[in-house]
Amino acid sequence: MYIGRIVCVGRSVDDRVFAAYRVSSRSFPNRTAVLVDGRAAIVPKPGHEGDIHKNPYIAYNCVRVVADNRIAVATNGSQTDPIAEKIDLGMPIREALALSHLAMDYEKDDYNTPRVSGVIDRSNGETWLAVVREDGINVRRYALEPGQFAYVATYEENDPMPAGSVPADVNSPERAAQFVLGEGVFADRPNAVTAVSAMASDQGFDLYACDVLPDA
């Protein structure tokens, strides 16, 4: 079942919050994630820069760390920046998610692609998911226990899903990215391209990005 882009929030077994974002694409698979100064961006791979002229929604900041390294935001589009900036200015997470999603609305592409977003707060363990579709908006806070995760996708599973179990070895940003890229429930979600994760550390968040292997 193709569900498109995925935003996942969770708490590792050793009780560190994490957020992960996965690009799944049937039309524009030649993309990768790059890490720069506490943020991650989805960009076309070398040789495919012209794709951005075919679809303006395929390149964007997908992860940002703000609020003195306390909060990480992960999304499937350009809503990353307004959500992060509102939180950085002191707006509560719920209001930042709701206002940004209402203002930007779903993407005006051929599929009316929903915007999906996640926010995690390492200071209190809060985890949030949000989605805006052409038929509504949903902003939800999860009371996740250590070893649990939740996710929302752009298609089919485009309401925040019930909590599931995180594999015990998902205890690093590398493993969080690999998990959403193709393990557990995500193994049956096709067309994975690249993934980014942010996992809480003592100093802030550790970020990691990885692409699907060519033979995957």
pLDDT for the residue 213: 76
| Separation CA 203–CA 206 (nearest Å) | 9
At position 123, the amino acid (one-letter code) is S
Cα separation of 187 and 181, whole Å?
A: 8
Range of the structural domain that residue 206 is part of: 6-211
Judge whether 11 lies within some domain.
yes
Contact 191, 26 (CB under 8 A): yes
Domain contains 100? yes
pLDDT at 96: 98
For residue 115, being part of any structural domain is answered with yes
Complete edge-to-edge strand list for the sheet that includes strand 17-24: 164-165, 148-153, 6-11, 17-24, 192-200, 205-211
Q: Among residues 162, 182, 205, 131, which one has the least CA distance to residue 22?
A: 182
Task: Answer yes or no: is 1 within a domain.
Answer: no
Domain count, the chain: 1
pLDDT at 105: 98
Domain presence at residue 177: yes
Q: What is the pLDDT of residue 39?
A: 96
> Which stretches of the chain score pLDDT less than 70?
214-216
Sheet arrangement for strand 71-75: 31-35, 39-44, 60-66, 71-75, 115-121, 127-133, 136-142
Match 């557990």 to its residue by tokens.
Answer: 184
Burial class (CB in 10 A: 0-12, 13-18, 19+), 58: buried
Write down the residue that tokens 């809060």 correspond to. Answer: 126
CB neighbourhood size of 5 (10 A)? 24
Share of the chain above pLDDT 70, in %: 99
As a whole number of angstroms, the distance between CA 170 and CA 143 comes to 19
Indicate whether 178 belongs to any domain. Answer: yes
Instruction: Indicate the pTM of the whole model.
Output: 0.96
Give the model's pLDDT for residue 215. Answer: 57
Specify the CATH number for the domain of residue 75. Answer: 3.60.20.20
Query: φ, ψ for residue 122 (rounded to 5)?
Result: -75, -15
- Measured distance CA(153)–CA(42) in Å, rounded: 17
- DSSP state letter for 12: -
In a domain, 216, yes or no: no
Amino acid letter at 150? A
Cβ atoms of 73 and 119 closer than 8 Å: yes
Q: Is residue 170 part of a domain?
A: yes
Copy the structure tokens of residue 167: 């594999």
Residue among 89, 138, 91, 147 at smallest CA distance from 118: 138
